[in-house]
Structure 1
Amino acid sequence: MATLISACAGSADRYPSLSLRDFERVQGQFPTADSQPEQLRPSPLPVAAVEQISDAIGEARTRHSQFLAQAEKARGVVSAARGSNPDDKRWAMALIEIAELDSHHGVTTGLLADLDALYAKASLEFQQREEVAQAQAEIAQMVASEQQTIDELAGLLGPA
């Protein structure tokens, strides 16, 4: 066993030194990155997207105006049907008015869904989204108002 161990302890000049050599030492100065990294900015929305936003807002405003006009008519029909039972023709007419309001509301909600898809696309393509978000907020407010009106009229009519 001693012979095997002594074989590992050969002469030191046969093997290179394991200490650092001159070329392994780091020398000189290396430039460092700026303390403020460059901010990436999203690209502007394509013209087609801006037009889509403008069209959606215009359409939503038109539809919302139609909804409000229809809601006034429906309010009168629902008030006349209040307290009646489902067998009464007034109750059926009120229910039809509420259904028409819900149809108008569905169109406005669809416009909001289109803007949601546009917002997602702009996010994925690293485009500016502020204009889309503003349009979403405006149309979402219309959608909430319409839903509140529908719920109010349905509550006035009462359960079937």
Structure 2
Amino acid sequence: MMHRHDKLITASAALILLLGGCGRSEGYPSLSIRDSERVTGVIEAPTAIFTPALATPATLAQLEALVASARAAHQRFLAARGAAERLVASARRSAVGTESWAQAQVGLANLESLRSDTMIALADIDRLHVDAHTGGGDIAETGSALAEINALVAEQDAVIAALLGQLGS
């Protein structure tokens, strides 16, 4: 009769003999990379280079009109600036609600209205720019116009902010 200990030794010996055969490469394929598994080939560069479509004459005419409108609004802003500055200067020491304070507020509101005229043109230019960009068109013209009119609006914003600061509003 075989004891439990003897059964364990016999099973262990059989397992060792079985696993010993696994180490031999006879009859088993190699796990090395085969020639057919290697990446080969050449990636070719695209033959056609993307060229954005030029803006249509109608779009260029619309852009030109919008830039002219923004410049004209800016000139009106600059012309009204002196009057607003004088009104703010006279109301600087006035209490809120006094006549001079109210006149300064009207002068500032006029400047803000003129800035709005510039910003309306800027919004339309921005729309043209987005349309050109998303449509694969040339954005050089619209980008240049955006930069110019953004600078005008920034100048107007700075003037209004300075005047509001002087008025204490």
Tell me if TM exceeds 0.5: yes
Q: How many corresponding residue pairs?
A: 128
The amino acid that maps onto 2:154 is: A
- 1:64 CA drift (Å): 0.4
Q: CA RMSD in A?
A: 1.4
Cα distance in 2 for residues equivalent to 1:35 and 1:84 = 72
Deviation digits for residues 37-57 of structure 1, max 9, x if unmatched? 321101111111101111111
Local SS of the residue matching 1:93: helix
Q: Which residue of structure 1 lines up, in the alignment, with residue 78 of structure 2? A: 68
Q: Which residue of structure 2 lines up, in the alignment, with residue 138 of structure 1? A: 148
Q: Which residue of structure 2 lines up, in the alignment, with residue 8 of structure 1? A: none
Cα distance in 2 for residues equivalent to 1:75 and 1:35 = 61
Local SS of the residue matching 2:52: coil
* TM-score between both structures, scaled by the size of structure 2: 0.72
- 1:86 CA drift (Å): 1.5
Local SS of the residue matching 1:72: helix
Cα distance in 1 for residues equivalent to 2:97 and 2:113 = 24
Any stretches of 5+ residues in structure 1 without a counterpart?
A: 1-31
Any stretches of 5+ residues in structure 2 without a counterpart?
A: 1-41
Q: Which residue of structure 2 lines up, in the alignment, with residue 41 of structure 1? A: 51
- 1:88 CA drift (Å): 1.3
Deviation digits for residues 52-102 of structure 1, max 9, x if unmatched? 111111111111011011011100111011110113100000000001100
The answer to whether 1:101 aligns with 2:107 is no
Q: Give runs of aligned pairs for residues 1-160 of structure 1, distance below 5 A.
A: 35=45, 37-159=47-169
Q: Which of structures 1 and 2 has the bigger CA Rg? A: 2
The amino acid that maps onto 1:132 is: T
Deviation digits for residues 139-158 of structure 1, max 9, x if unmatched? 00000000110001111111
